[in-house]
Structure 1
Amino acid sequence: MKRFKKLSLLLLIGVVFVSCSNDDDVQPFNEPILNNMEYGLGEKSNSGVSGKATFNQLESGSVQLILEVEGTSSGNMHPAHIHMNSAAEGGGIIVSLEPVDGATGLSITEFSSLDDGTAISFEDISDLDAYINVHLSSEALGTVVAQGDIGQNELTGESKSYDLDERAVEGISGSVLFEERMSGEALATLSLNGTPDGGMHPAHIHMNSAVEGGGIIYSFNPVNGTSGMSETHLGALDDGTAFGYADVLEVDGYVNVHLSSDALGTVVAQGDIGQNELTGESKSYTLNERAVPGISGTVLFEERVNGEAQATISLDGTPDGGSHPAHIHMNTAAEGGGILYTFTPVDGTTGMSKSNVAALNDDTAFGYADVLEVDGYVNVHLSSDALGTVVAQGDIGQNELTGESKSYTLNERAVPGISGTVLFEERVNGEAQATISLDGTPDGGSHPAHIHMNTAAEGGGILYTFTPVDGTTGMSKSNVAALNDDTAFGYADVLEVDGYVNVHLSSDALGTIVAQGDIGENELTGNSVTYTLDEADVTGISGSLLFEERISGAALATISLSGTPDGGSHPAHIHENSAAMGGGILYTFTPVDGTTGMSQSQVEALDDGTVFGYEDVLTLDGYVNVHLSANDLATIVAQGDIGANN
């Protein structure tokens, strides 16, 4: 970095001492220095030589240039020059300097014109398009031991580095560093690891992102395979358009490094730059196995500086040589919907696809932020000729699952052997994915399923219709966002609903329930109490009464009797007081079915409307009677004390 120093005129002293790299040597000058500026000289050719160049403004109007370097040896003289252009470009000599003395590392030159006689002043130095070379010797001018850009080519300290990732050749990767010059142009340095000795690797800036591809807009100096390095001055594109450091930061482009000039189709390292750089923000979604066993993976969206996104689909299990179309579709996967965006097809051999996401297929702007909010899902298809076969699928954006879920049991009902669960999974948007999973359903069947109001014991009308259960798979997936009457109904509502789920035998046999379960506030907590119902007036009839606590605080009451005659219907009640004392009816159960010996009732209020739930059962001063029939209530077939009387 150059430095300017305002110095007082040393008119009374008359001598200025300038220190050099050897503290024992001091060079006197008999002319005052008005200002100076300093530039660094970096090591070249692994020489171990480096230092600085100081330009002094002399009172006479001449320019004094002092080169001070370390690493030189006694007995050597090192020619030095100021050259035109930047060091990365190279250029002819414009000022010949005194050689650097290897013993002292010092060179002092005073000049007021270029070698061609053009006048130059101290003020002109900062505007020079130039650099300084210190050479190994007069016989080896081709070997530069120290070098530094000066004037408008000096680096400001502002820089930007981009990664160059491995591509077609394993083990080759690195970076490209752009450093701002005082002129606003840039020094571009490509640094690669893993390049083979002796190779030369062409490198370019291309238009667009790497996943889109595009034509060459700028050619770097080729990368030297032995050193893995390339330095290039960046001031204009290949077509002559001005292009400097600030333009690099805004360019819609990427960098390719190629295997050789004869194999430009083989890219060994690649990276997006400018507005296509990735910010580090990303979002990954799971793509689950669907029609083809063993194929699954992820789709990763990575934010670019310009707000667009790089999408990478990574699948395991795809067959070699295949090509798998992939799209973003509208709605959830459970609902299905039209194509919004088309990805680059997945390569079956690698399982990979990369796409730039900037707009939907209809040209609507669509970037990274839009991905996070989209009401959509991703399908990967078997082939362009078999789009109906989906091999991997996943919800994205607002349809992503949060990880919160609730599962309810669906118990066997009219058809032996059919039972399972209904799983509700919360989406980011508050809606829910509902998955019904049943065992025992017959192949080829289709089983309508609904959420009904109230408890299963009470029964009630349909609130929500699921996608029918496929009998062959026993599965059904639905998006739960609204009830059938369009009332909003999402995951949180499921947890609170006063409802239950029915799965029916078929659309022609809705009266036959094959699986059923209470959900929401009607779910059972696991707390329960059982009371014995003893034989009373009819020999051989006895059983039990089970009260199970619900989330709501109400109770499910299940009467189970043995010995009841087929076809009968047995009224049952909770009475006040103990059985020995007798008392009036407090609560009426659903009558016991004589054929099954069963009755299920919802217990949340007494017959007079008084709130009465599970906790009230435990402390009740009461008993239960099961009667012979509605026409013969006087005949008690089973009886037992409950609550405080047990």
Structure 2
Amino acid sequence: MSDPVRTLLTALLTATLLISTVLMAACADDVVAPVQGVGGDAPVLLEQVTYSLNAVSSEGALPQGLSGEVVFQELDASRMLVTVAIDDTVDTPLIHPVHIHENDADTGGPIAFFLGALDNNARGAARSVHVIEKSLDSLLTFDGHVNIHESNATRDTLLAQGDIGANDNASPTLFQLNRVAEPRHAAYPLQAVPNSSTQAPEGFEGTVRFEELTPSQTLVQVQVDGGSPATGGAHPVHLREGAAGEHADDSAPEVVIAYLGAIDGAPESLGTSWTVVNRSYDELLDADAHVRIHLNNEALGTSVSAGDIGANAVPM
């Protein structure tokens, strides 16, 4: 969008922003995009575009498939936040890989981008987020579609898909991102945890990074050192109470502060996940907490990586 057009739209929308903000607050459960909110000392208007994801029936674990939406939001001139949200949660420990594929859905094509895997065990989260270092304008002309797969082991089984970019006629709309004027960043190391599994017996090292997004939201990235752990599975990631050494075998859900994005262990993935956590940056950096990567949802007592954060560690 050109600067004159953005300026004009900003002027036209100023009078309605207070009303729309109230509506968004009143209908928070209906808002897919996670970075709309109230407050902040540097609110800006950015573009977003939404596409439908249609259920695909199969003979797999979820025969009716899943339906939902994928929302692409500008974070800045060179980054998009991609939110995948399904309409209903399902009772399964599976973690569903999500990809942007080339070509339209009917034609099919290779993976162009890995998106955030959907962790159904994340207590009804029913969504995932991912950051792509591309502009929103580049997406609008991209010949592609989004697929939600059953699992990495059954990638040929689709649960949902939908066309995006050049293959759909969706138009961008504006949203208000209430970012702070000077976002702060912090990073903490994750140490490998040796274990008795055959997939990742030595565990793997990594880093968790916190980026101040809005006054009440923090963007969290978990990155495995060297890229994908190449386990062929998918690994739940939790922000948990207490220090890592005190809770090594604790898989109880009541000590989970936030379910972070799962790590996709497909060999060709980037070994990274993203999450928008509805807690302020200061709250997270003061928290008595740690980050733990688990083997899978059926073996939450088996850790492959862990590291202290907040009050329990000094940032890198």
TM-score if structure 2 supplies the norm length? 0.44
TM-score if structure 1 supplies the norm length? 0.23
Instruction: Find the structure with the greater CA-based Rg.
Output: 1
Higher strand share: 1
Higher helix share: 2
Q: Whose relative contact order is higher, 1 or 2, with alpha carbons under 8 Å and at least 6 apart?
A: 2
